[in-house]
Amino acid sequence: MIVKSEYYFIYHTTNNFDNLVMLSDGENLNGLYFLESEKQKEKIKEKYINKDLSIFISVQKWLDMYFSGVNPNFTPQISNYYSSSFQKEVLDITKEIPYGKTITYGDIASLIAKRRSIKKMSSQAVGNALGANQICLIFSCHRVIGKSGKLTVYHGGLKNKENLLIHEHNKDFKN
């Protein structure tokens, strides 16, 4: 399901991370992702209206807590944009990954297989569902790593994924 966003707000992060853009329909958070370039930022400015909305204030509070090292104890209002019940199931699992912990794509696939009483679920299908995530950090895709502990693809860029894990774990992760 595609949710139409009309508004944006740029959140300025610390030096280790790219800035984040928030998108909203005026009531819900429809998108939260890292800005990779000034060109991308200019496209956002052309397409959406910069407006100070209550949802953006709520997301800023969540992000301020997160980047200060505190696990936020609330979830801002997010639109139901999932493309499938499977994607919702995968993303709901990522919201439950504790701050400072990681799990693998295979762990999620095994959990879903067990819940569905099936023999096996594809780790690649889990990865595809995570790749379509439009709300980074709140849906904690950065906490999902490869089988061998290796950092794998991250929609927000591997540099941001590595820095997020270092931020949460206080130790180095390598690609």
What is the rounded distance in angstroms from the CA atom of residue 11 to the CA atom of residue 173? 25
Length of the chain: 175
Active-site choice (109, 141, 145, 164): 141
State how far the alpha carbon of 13 is from the alpha carbons of 68, 109, 110, in Å. Answer: 11, 32, 35
DSSP 8-state symbol, 78 = B
Judge whether 136 counts as a catalytic residue: no
Secondary element (H or E) of residue 127 = helix 123-131
SS3 10: strand
Enumerate the active-site residues.
141
